[in-house]
Amino acid sequence: MAYVPLADQEQELHHPHSWVTKYVWSQDHKVIAIQYAVTAIAVGVVALVLSLMMRMQLGFPETFNLIDPSEYYQAVTMHGMIMVVYLLTALFMGGFGNYLIPLMCGSRDMVFPFMNMLSYWVYLLSVLILMASFFVGEGPTGGGWTLYPPQTALAGTPGHDSGIVLMLISLAVFIVAFTMGGLNYVVTTLQSRCRGLTMMRLPLSVWGIFVATCLALFAFPALLVAAIMMLFDTLLGTSFFMPAIIESGTPLDHNGGSPVLFQHLFWFFGHPEVYIVALPAFGLVSDVLSVHARKNIFGYRMMVWAIIAIGALSFIVWAHHMYVSGMHPYFGFFFATTTLIIAVPTALKVYNWVLTLYEGDIRLNAPMYFAIGFIFTFIHGGLTGLFLGNVVIDLPLSDTYFVVAHFHMVMGVSPVLVVFAAIYHWYPKITGRMFHAGMAKLHFWCTFLGTYAIYLPMHYLGFLGVPRRYYALGATDFIPQSAQDLNTAISIAALFVGASQLLFFINMLWSLRNGKKADPNPWGAASLEWQTAETPPIHGNWGAELPTVYRWAYDYSVPGAHKDFIPQNTPESVETTVDEQHFDPDLDKSKADL
């Protein structure tokens, strides 16, 4: 019997017969990707609203009184956890991973489509469990997104009854969902590539998502273990993490547990989590930069090595989040050193992005705005990370707004800019329509300048010693009135950035119906997902035959070539005579003005 590649096994494909099986219980990776993305963005909007409520409280403490101190802590907790896990992780992996991996690998679908579908519905269940905590008992947990015991479980913390339980159950369910999806992404990348597509011919988007998935598969267990043990402590009265403690004069039943053990487990997950979010962003932004600069990505091989090196190193830096928890100086020294070492491959990537732009034929399309904006915010957030990675600098800055500014720049704003770059970049392929370019660029400037207006002053507040997590600063000697005024300005900027996201939503929805019909390959990209016969790609992605790959994904502006990109599925013999159906220099020029 002739060998049928896994990427082409028709019997693995589920063929939908009704609207419900096509769009609801769908096993098509593209539909699942959109389901993931819409759910993640919807829950992200909840987190955005929570942050705006916090900013209104901080900027105008005596004016609005929208939330009381307990609700403030609940908003802090839910905002953090939703943004990191339920928005960014789910969107990069479940959204972009699902959409792009099979297409970029030249496959018809994920290897296990049913499990892929199950992954989404279990993810949705985890989101619903988390959202349910708003409506039960005292509401969601207010223990901070790190959920540190013992305070998370004590009566003084909002949501100590059912909120924390629902949070932990939701996280455990999320991990189950992710594991099902993650196994799919890994196995599809390894086993289901089309003919000729070697690992080193994969676009960096796939490399980023692939390595991040491996990281997540090995890091989420730490969170699962911590969550299970914390559930035991909360529900069954065990003392894994809960120490002997007296609450309102009454000794609790717990005795001898180790809160620091929880911190180690949490951050053993928590730091790789930073790269679980960052690596897909690195990959996606590399592809966007390369396509719109009409240049191959600079140092492709080193970019792959850097992704792998960052992934491996991310497992041995976790305790830099715990310098103030009390640790042996040598322990701190070790983690400070590893933290500085991880900056090397990260910086290498930044240099390569900048060198990709150098002397490129740059097309300032909307996705490129966001991609270049990302380089700025990432350098900014990365450099402040070097400050905080050093023990002696971290100690005074710990728990100040400097930390808030740092992590929002590096893993809030930066990945979100990539999310926007990627959505705008692939929107024509996903929907078959072009978005409104002017509105997208306006969205960029509002977001980019607005977020700088929020986070740049926060560094200064941090240097002043303004503590994070406080409901109101009140009158203190070390916080001058100017800091209060700065807080007000930050809040106004935050409200502005929040409102400007409407530009994005309006653009996306309006363009679905009214956008100009998109070319199959409007940016002139070389990777496989742009070479499908149909736009948007049909169920099964490819026509009768799978593509065959003859080259890497970055053949742009090749000297002597007929046009300024050569698709991966173009044989060498015809690269100079490819027809112009996907690329027209004049058309391309007009697109440059998009």
Partner 1 sequence: MSLLKTLGDKSWERKGIIGGLKPVGAFDTAPEKVALVFFLVVASVVFSLFTVSYFIRMELPDWTPLADPAKLWLNTGLLAISSVLFQWARNISSSTSTRNIKTAFIGGGVFAILFIAGQLSAWQDLNNAGHYIASNPATSFFYLFTAVHAVHLLGGLWVWSKSSIKLLSGSEPKEVRLSIQLCTLYWHFLLIVWLVLFAVLSNT
Beta bridge partners of 556: 565
Q: What 3-state class would DSSP assign to 414?
A: helix
Compose the 456-495 pattern: x for residues touching partner 1 by CB under 8 A, - for all others.
----------------------------------------
Smallest separation, CB 368 to partner 1 (Å): 22
Smallest separation, CB 20 to partner 1 (Å): 25
Residues 135, 62: Cα–Cα separation, whole Å:
27
Span interacting with partner 1, options 49-57, 89-97, 255-263, 429-437, rule CB under 8 A: 255-263
Smallest separation, CB 197 to partner 1 (Å): 6
**C-alpha 95, offset from chain centre:** 10
Span interacting with partner 1, options 52-60, 179-187, 276-284, 527-535, rule CB under 8 A: 179-187
Sign of CA dihedral 343, 344, 349, 354: positive
How many helices and strands (H and E) does the chain possess?
17, 2
Is 275 near partner 1 (CB under 8 A)?
Answer: no
Cis bond upstream, residue 5 (ω within 30):
no
Q: How many CB atoms lie within 10 A of CB 326?
A: 8
Residues 93, 39: Cα–Cα separation, whole Å:
13
Smallest separation, CB 555 to partner 1 (Å): 8
Q: What 3-state class would DSSP assign to 520?
A: coil
Residues 469, 404: Cα–Cα separation, whole Å:
10
Nearer to partner 1, 266 or 448 (CB): 266
Compose the 112-151 pattern: x for residues touching partner 1 by CB under 8 A, - for all others.
x---------------------------------------
Residues 521, 209: Cα–Cα separation, whole Å:
23
**20, 128, 155, 199: which one contacts partner 1 (CB under 8 A)?**
199
Query: Are the C-beta atoms of 553 and 202 separated by less than 8 Å?
Result: yes
Give CA separation, 336 vs 211, 322, 330, 394, 470, in Å. Answer: 24, 11, 10, 10, 28
**23, 24, 49, 253: which one contacts partner 1 (CB under 8 A)?**
253
**44, 150, 257, 332: which one contacts partner 1 (CB under 8 A)?**
257
| Tokens describing residue 538 | 């049909």
Kindly give, in sequence order, each residue whose CB lies less than 8 Å from that of residue 477, ignoring residues fewer than 6 positions away: none
Give residue for tokens 């009704």.
18
Kindly give, in sequence order, each residue whose CB lies less than 8 Å from that of residue 166, ignoring residues fewer than 6 positions away: 129, 130, 132, 133, 136, 140
Nearer to partner 1, 229 or 405 (CB): 229
| Tokens describing residue 224 | 């699962």
Closest residue by Cα to residue 88 from 315, 414, 416: 416
Sign of CA dihedral 359, 360, 361, 367: negative
Smallest separation, CB 293 to partner 1 (Å): 16
Identify the burial level of 562 via C-beta atoms within 10 angstroms of its C-beta, where 0-12 means exposed, 13-18 middle and 19 or more buried: middle
Span interacting with partner 1, options 65-73, 79-87, 259-267, 370-378, rule CB under 8 A: 259-267
Query: Which residues in the 571-590 window bind partner 1 by CB under 8 A?
Result: 571-572
Torsion of CA 460, 461, 464, 470, to 10 degrees: -160
Closest residue by Cα to residue 84 from 15, 154, 174, 21: 174
Angle between helices 329-357 and 366-389 (to 10 degrees): 160
Span interacting with partner 1, options 17-25, 158-166, 178-186, 366-374, rule CB under 8 A: 178-186
Size of site (CB under 8 A) for partner 1:
61
Compose the 292-331 pattern: x for residues touching partner 1 by CB under 8 A, - for all others.
----x---xx--xx--x-----------------------
Sign of CA dihedral 42, 44, 50, 54: negative
Is 51 near partner 1 (CB under 8 A)?
Answer: no
Is 237 near partner 1 (CB under 8 A)?
Answer: yes
Nearer to partner 1, 219 or 434 (CB): 219
Sign of CA dihedral 412, 415, 417, 423: negative
Torsion of CA 528, 534, 536, 539, to 10 degrees: -90
Q: What 3-state class would DSSP assign to 76?
A: helix
Nearer to partner 1, 165 or 518 (CB): 165
Nearer to partner 1, 195 or 562 (CB): 195
Phi and psi for 149 in degrees, rounded to 5? -80, 160
Is 554 near partner 1 (CB under 8 A)?
Answer: yes
Nearer to partner 1, 117 or 388 (CB): 117
Nearer to partner 1, 93 or 493 (CB): 93
**120, 174, 424, 552: which one contacts partner 1 (CB under 8 A)?**
552
Is 513 near partner 1 (CB under 8 A)?
Answer: no
Query: Are the C-beta atoms of 591 and 523 separated by less than 8 Å?
Result: yes
Smallest separation, CB 551 to partner 1 (Å): 5
Smallest separation, CB 12 to partner 1 (Å): 9
Span interacting with partner 1, options 195-203, 345-353, 374-382, 513-521, rule CB under 8 A: 195-203
Query: Which residues in the 4-43 window bind partner 1 by CB under 8 A?
Result: 4-7
**111, 317, 322, 461: which one contacts partner 1 (CB under 8 A)?**
111
Query: Are the C-beta atoms of 119 and 177 separated by less than 8 Å?
Result: yes
Q: What 3-state class would DSSP assign to 327?
A: coil
Nearer to partner 1, 187 or 386 (CB): 187
Is 268 near partner 1 (CB under 8 A)?
Answer: yes
Nearer to partner 1, 198 or 250 (CB): 198
Compose the 203-232 pattern: x for residues touching partner 1 by CB under 8 A, - for all others.
--------------xx--xx-xx--xx--x
Is 291 near partner 1 (CB under 8 A)?
Answer: no
**548, 557, 561, 582: which one contacts partner 1 (CB under 8 A)?**
548
Nearer to partner 1, 64 or 358 (CB): 358
Binding site for partner 1 (CB under 8 A): 3-7, 111-112, 179, 183-184, 186-187, 190-201, 217-218, 221-222, 224-225, 228-229, 232, 236-240, 253, 255-258, 261, 264-265, 268, 296, 300-301, 304-305, 308, 548-552, 554, 571-572
